[in-house]
Structure 1
Amino acid sequence: MSSTSNTSGIETRERSFHLPDYPGAEYTVTLARSRGRGAQGWMLAEVIVRSTGGPLVVEGFPPTERLVRAALSEDPPAVFQTAYDSTRELELVPERYRRALHRRGIRTVDGLLGLTHDQLRQVHGIGDTGVAAIEHARTRYRAERLAQPDD
């Protein structure tokens, strides 16, 4: 999830995800709020819906509250299924460790799964806690890959 603030005092948060009961679509939700407000201050600013296979059905659009909850969720894969995609970004990896991996050129699931444990420990900015968090994410990515049906 990405968050930004601007000089007008508006904070935005953006997240992309899939919802298991609304197949065939990826949602990118942007929320906005005045800086310094609690979680109740978030308002839906923009929704981008992208087809991941086949036509989109407008009647099947998820409720606004569901999209906001999904965008605010700290752990979307635990709540919302996302199909395994080896080229997708590392949303299961906590942000601070993701930045360290990006500096090393590791930006995709395949790139992360291609690292050995020792190579991971050598990435600057990732200590024992980071290695544990990333290993947890790697385990979940591997489970997703194994659960994906063969074509």
Structure 2
Amino acid sequence: MFDMSLPWWEFILRGVIVYCALLVLVRISGKRTVGQFTPFDLLVVMLLSESVSNSLSGGDDSVAGGLLIACTLILLNISIAYVTSRSRKIAALIDGECVLLGRDGKVFKDVLKKCRIAEGDVDEALREADVELSDARCIFLEADGTITVLEKKD
């Protein structure tokens, strides 16, 4: 139960490699994948975790190996949070930046396509903000995948 079939350092290396690879893949997949899960997005995340589980453990089923991988992933997450809180450039690279989707009552359809945002998502954000499109000063896709609507002031 506690005997590891691989050297301790291999668990750490596997954790770092898989964490970095998934970070890049999730970042490439777009803001909406991270911000608001549709059933499809949730399925992808669940399958991603299952698909990399053997990559992390290398076939080892020991408690010690699992705990070592868990500690490695948590330390990586803490390290990324620490670095991004101190560097705007790295934060923009890792977390992304907000994108202007519309201004002064007009939605930029080319930007929606580039960000893979459905017009219905913008309509939903307008309803949630209780703002008519004609009264919207700015519509943003935030780095976390949410859509923010700023209303025009009188």
User: TM-score range with shorter-chain normalisation?
Assistant: under 0.3
TM, length-normalised to structure 2: 0.26
TM-score (norm 1): 0.26
Structure of higher RCO (CA pairs closer than 8 Å, 6+ residues apart): 2
Q: Which has the higher helix share?
A: 2
- The structure where strand makes up a greater share of residues is 1
